[in-house]
Amino acid sequence: MPFVPDTDTRRVALVTGAARGIGRAVATALARDGFAVVVNCSGEKSLPAAQEFADELAETYGVPAAACAADVSDADAVDTLFAFVADTYGRLDVLVNNAGITRDGSLLRMSEDDFDRVIAVNLKSAFLTSRRAAKIMMKQRWGRIINMASIVGVVGNAGQANYAASKAGIIGLTKTIAREFGARHITANAIAPGFIATDMTAELPEKMLAGMNDRIALKRMGKPEEVAELAAFLASDRAAYITGQVIGIDGGMSL
Ligand SMILES: NC(=O)c1ccc[n+]([C@@H]2O[C@H](COP(=O)([O-])OP(=O)(O)OC[C@H]3O[C@@H](n4cnc5c(N)ncnc54)[C@H](O)[C@@H]3O)[C@@H](O)[C@H]2O)c1
């Protein structure tokens, strides 16, 4: 049964890195579906825009929405974020680990710093947030953890050793969470997008973009909203029996 919003038991969703791109589309879809939403952005500089977006969600969908700046690779910042969620809503039902970065380069040229930073933002962040979220969800005996992986985490990608390793790590983390918390009605799933039109892919060198559509069965890039629909489904009661899965959404790119 689809989730029916009710002011007494309205479910709360936290989306990391939600100020733009896929995270923004996910936050929008969840607000549309009746969730109260916490829009996380990476720092104080992006907070006014994230706040404006949260206000927009509240006005458009009539749900509570709030914004909180926190670098999710930082344990203290994650503590602050979860204190904000507890103070603002007093519960958490859905966690979407979406924040992510790239620092591409061939393995031979990749610096240790570029490796560490990508692992910290893309993978360690999900460990930090999931252990906080799982504690709350266990008490509520219901929860959804949705992690943004990538098809690159499954098949690898030349020039993205750090990014591919972080996304493969996310998949292992997701499956483990699914096993550890299944008995508490908490599901954990990974979404593995292919090539989605966002600022992240707009930064790619021309060389990498050329001929990309030819490698995709549907012959086009995906839209953030298309990924968001999958996240919204996984967050809903309709996906109650799906856990520990890596669900590709790539227009057939990985075929
Ligand atoms: N765009 C694609 O083709 C694609 C494909 C596969 C997977 N993904 C994944 O989807 C997710 C969203 O990507 P996108 O394309 O929307 O990228 P994007 O660059 O548009 O958005 C990423 C968001 O994460 C935020 N962020 C970065 N570091 C952060 C930190 N330390 N703390 C909090 N927030 C932080 C950014 O501020 C930004 O809002 C990422 O995890 C990405 O790896 C994207």
Query: Contact 148/98 with Cβ under 8 angstroms?
Result: yes
Distance CA 65, CA 67 (A): 7
Q: For residue 140, what are the contacts with CB-CB under 8 A and spacing of at least 6?
A: 91, 93
**pLDDT tens digits, one per residue of 94-149:** 999 999 999 999 999 999 999 999 999 999 999 999 999 999 999 999 999 999 99
Q: Compute the residue count for the chain.
A: 255
Q: For residue 8, what are the contacts with CB-CB under 8 A and spacing of at least 6?
A: none
Distance CA 40, CA 12 (A): 13
Q: How far is the CA of 230 from the centre of ligand 1 (A)?
A: 16
Q: How far is the CA of 92 from the centre of ligand 1 (A)?
A: 22
Which of ligand 1's atoms lies nearest the C-alpha of 191? Answer: 7
Which of ligand 1's atoms lies nearest the C-alpha of 196? Answer: 3
In this prediction, residue 221 carries a pLDDT of: 96
Token pair listed for 45? 């500089």
Q: Tell me the pLDDT band of 181, cut-offs 50, 70 and 90.
A: very high
Token pair listed for 141? 């005996």
In this prediction, residue 8 carries a pLDDT of: 64
pLDDT at residue 5 greater than cutoff 90? no
User: In order of start, what are the domains of the chain with their CATH numbers?
Assistant: 12-249 (3.40.50.720)
Q: For residue 209, what are the contacts with CB-CB under 8 A and spacing of at least 6?
A: 201
Q: Give me the residue label for tokens 């992240």.
A: 200
Residue nearest to atom 40 of ligand 1 (CA): 100
Ligand 1 residue neighbourhood (C-beta within 6 Å): 16-17, 19-23, 40-42, 71-73, 98-101, 121, 148, 150, 193, 195-196, 198-201
Q: How far is the CA of 181 from the centre of ligand 1 (A)?
A: 26
Percent of the chain with pLDDT over 90: 92
Residue 125: left (phi > 0), alpha (psi -120 to 50), or beta?
Answer: alpha
pTM of the model: 0.97
In this prediction, residue 71 carries a pLDDT of: 98
Q: Which of 18-22, 201-205, 235-239 has the lowest mean pLDDT?
A: 201-205
